[in-house]
Amino acid sequence: MPARTSHTAAQALRVGGITPLTTIDFPGRLAAVVFCQGCPWRCGYCHNAGLLDAAAPAPHRWSEVEQLLHTRRGLLDGVVFSGGEPTLQAALPDALARVRALGFATGLHTAGMYPERLQALLPLLDWVGLDIKGPPAHYDAITRTPGSGDRAWESLRCVQASGVDYECRTTWNPTLFPPADLVGLAHTLADAGVTHWVVQRCLAAGDVPSTSPGPLQFSGVEERFKSLTWRG
Ligand code: SF4
């Protein structure tokens, strides 16, 4: 029998996509991914362009998420909200609370653009994957949004103060900022107390695919992190 969803603020969540199972998006968990519709930033490398328009009709209802979770009890142990930018949506706190009430751990992928909202969400979260898109001097060019770097770095401070598990994630190629600045970013993150860092290499025009951690490999930064993951 399909699960019934009582009327809830979470029903207003604009869900742009659902992945029923992931083993890589929520560390240590078998998780579902809920992709949230809408993001005000415009990173040139964004792979989720279809999720950027907050006014676009959402293809899924929240009730589909809850029904999936009812059918996957014992098979999944977490749900990670991704996007788009999940913290854009006022329905997110209730959605997180409902996921927890169903017995699943909660994770969030965020670019940290709303530190005050993230602060309020942290008690509802078991893990945060926070984008730190680059050194402060490069931020606004990457996101095409003035003031974006200040917000992201403030979000990092909020997450760290909360004690919630987290990792920082950086998407990079040499056209975004030079390799030396990536090494500098590594040291800045380590100096700030970040222990888990994922660098996702994205391809730009003329760029050559590589699985080598390139500028980080011989720079002495690896020993500064408990985990440093390179995705080529
Ligand atoms: S913040 Fe994330 S979702 Fe928004 S444009 Fe940048 S990469 Fe895309």
Q: Where are the chain's structural domains?
A: 1-110, 138-232
Q: What predicted TM-score, i.e. pTM, was given to this entire model?
A: 0.94
Q: How far apart (Å, rounded) are the C-alpha atoms in residues 51 and 38?
A: 5
- pLDDT tens, position by position, 92-117: 999 999 999 999 999 999 999 999 99
**Of the ranges 140-149, 202-211, 221-230, which one carries the lowest mean pLDDT score?**
202-211
Q: How far apart (Å, rounded) are the C-alpha atoms in residues 100 and 98?
A: 5
Residues in the ligand 1 pocket, defined by CB under 6 Å: 39, 41-43, 46, 48, 52, 83-85, 111
Is a pLDDT exceeding 60 seen at residue 5? no
Whether the Cβ atoms of residue 66 and residue 102 lie closer than 8 Å to each other: yes
Task: Write out the two tokens for 111.
Answer: 């670019």
State percent of the chain over pLDDT 90.
84
SS3 198: strand
- pLDDT tens, position by position, 135-175: 999 999 999 999 999 999 999 999 999 999 999 999 998 88
pLDDT band at 2 (very low <50, low <70, confident <90, very high): very low
**Helices 136-143 & 148-162 angle (0-180, nearest 10):** 110
The pLDDT of residue 210: 63
Q: How far apart (Å, rounded) are the C-alpha atoms in residues 154 and 150?
A: 6
List of residues 6+ apart from 153 with CB closer than 8 A: 112, 132, 136
Please identify, by atom number, the ligand 1 atom nearest to the C-alpha of residue 84: 3
Tell me how far the alpha carbon of residue 134 lies from the centroid of ligand 1, in angstroms: 13
Residue among 48, 87, 108, 170 whose CB has most ligand 1 atoms within 8 A, to mutate: 48
- pLDDT tens, position by position, 25-81: 999 999 999 999 999 999 999 989 999 999 999 999 999 999 999 999 999 999 999
Whether the Cβ atoms of residue 149 and residue 188 lie closer than 8 Å to each other: no
pLDDT band at 11 (very low <50, low <70, confident <90, very high): very high
Q: How far apart (Å, rounded) are the C-alpha atoms in residues 84 and 38?
A: 5
pLDDT band at 211 (very low <50, low <70, confident <90, very high): low
Tell me how far the alpha carbon of residue 60 lies from the centroid of ligand 1, in angstroms: 20
Ligand 1 atom 7, closest CA = 46
Q: How far apart (Å, rounded) are the C-alpha atoms in residues 96 and 8?
A: 12
Mean local confidence (pLDDT), 217-231: 87
Question: Which residue type occupies 177?
Answer: F
Task: Write out the two tokens for 113.
Answer: 């653009």
For the segment(s) 1-110, the CATH number from 3.20.20.70, 3.90.105.10, 3.40.50.720, 1.10.287.3510 is 3.20.20.70
Of the candidates 171, 167, 180, 163, which has an alpha carbon nearest to the alpha carbon of residue 221? 180
Q: How far apart (Å, rounded) are the C-alpha atoms in residues 181 and 191?
A: 15
The pLDDT of residue 213: 62
To the nearest 10°, report the CA torsion of 44, 50, 51, 52.
50
Ligand 1 atom 3, closest CA = 84
